[in-house]
Amino acid sequence: MMKSAFTALAIACLSAPAFPQAELSVAEKADAPVIARVNGMVCDFCAQAVTKVFGREDAVQRVEVDLNDGAIRIAMKPGEDLDDARIAELIKKSGYALVEIERPAA
pLDDT digits (tens, 9 = 90+) for 29-74: 446 899 999 998 989 998 999 999 999 999 999 999 999 999 999 9
- Going from the C-alpha of 80 to that of each of 33, 59, 61, 64, 100, the distances in angstroms are 12, 5, 9, 17, 21
Q: Mind listing the pLDDT tens digit for each residue in 14-23?
A: 544 444 444 4
| C-alpha separations of 35 from 1, 6, 10, 38, 69 in Å | 40, 31, 25, 10, 11
Answer yes or no: pTM beyond 0.85. Answer: no
What is the C-alpha separation between 65 and 73, in angstroms, rounded? 6
- Is the distance from CB of 76 to CB of 59 less than 8 angstroms? yes
